[in-house]
Amino acid sequence: MNRTTFEHGLYGRLKQEAGHHWQAYIHHDFVRQLAAGTLPDGAFRRYLVQDYLFLIHFARAYALLAYKLRTLPEIRAAVVSLEAIVKELPMHVAYCAQWGLREEEMAKEPEASETLTYTRYVLDIGQSGDVLDLLVALIPCVAGYAEIGQRLRDDPATVLAGNPYAEWIQNYSDGDYLSGARAAIDQLERVGLARGAEQRFDALSAIFTTATRLESAFWQMGLTPHPTVIAV
């Protein structure tokens, strides 16, 4: 996926409308410290635990998306995304194990307020709105991580040699992940055309910007010291 893909169509317009909120998300200090290899390991471990809990609710959101869609091709596309998250969880768990985090311990960890706020917001949008509303609420995470991963991979200032977070950067700049993000953006464009995105743009933009702000808050949550992070 080339960088210009991130600027086109409905997704590109939503990003542009989000303005400084989008920039704050993709250039957050958490991301900068990841790229430099200077992020405190406690901050990263807290993020990993909450991301595990987050992914469970995002799987629920994609299951809801599949339920709300009506044509078989659309349902298949949603199921592919759901399967990708379900398959990602064991990989996430294996990666967390490298940081001394066991799944049974992560599952018992309380959800941070940022995790609760973000995931329940997405699920509420899915319950109260239609499939386009839900896709717009989901896309900042899926495509935003691809954009961040690709940007960090291509930035000569990013430290990979000896960086404890190099594998994370490589995971989100990997061709398979970028292809999944492309599919999610393509699905957003198709559904947007079919369900009047142009006439609803202001409302969709509000959803997208809110989800973007919640992404920034999720990064910040990782930087905030918290005593309940599982100890090694």
Catalytic residues: 141, 215
Contact (CB, 8 A) for 6 and 144: no
Centre a 10 Å sphere on the Cβ of residue 52 and count the other Cβ atoms it contains.
Answer: 20
Interatomic CA distance for residues 97 and 21, integer angstroms: 33
> Which of 144, 204, 208, 129 minimizes the C-alpha distance to 180?
144
Cα 47 to chain centroid distance, Å, stands at: 13
Contact (CB, 8 A) for 207 and 21: no
Please state the φ and ψ torsions of residue 226, each to the nearest 5 degrees: -150, 130
**Length of the chain in terms of residues written:** 232
CA distances from 141 to 63, 81, 101, 108, 197 (A): 16, 13, 23, 24, 20
Q: Which amino acid is at 187?
A: Q
CA distances from 188 to 114, 136, 138, 216 (A): 25, 7, 10, 22
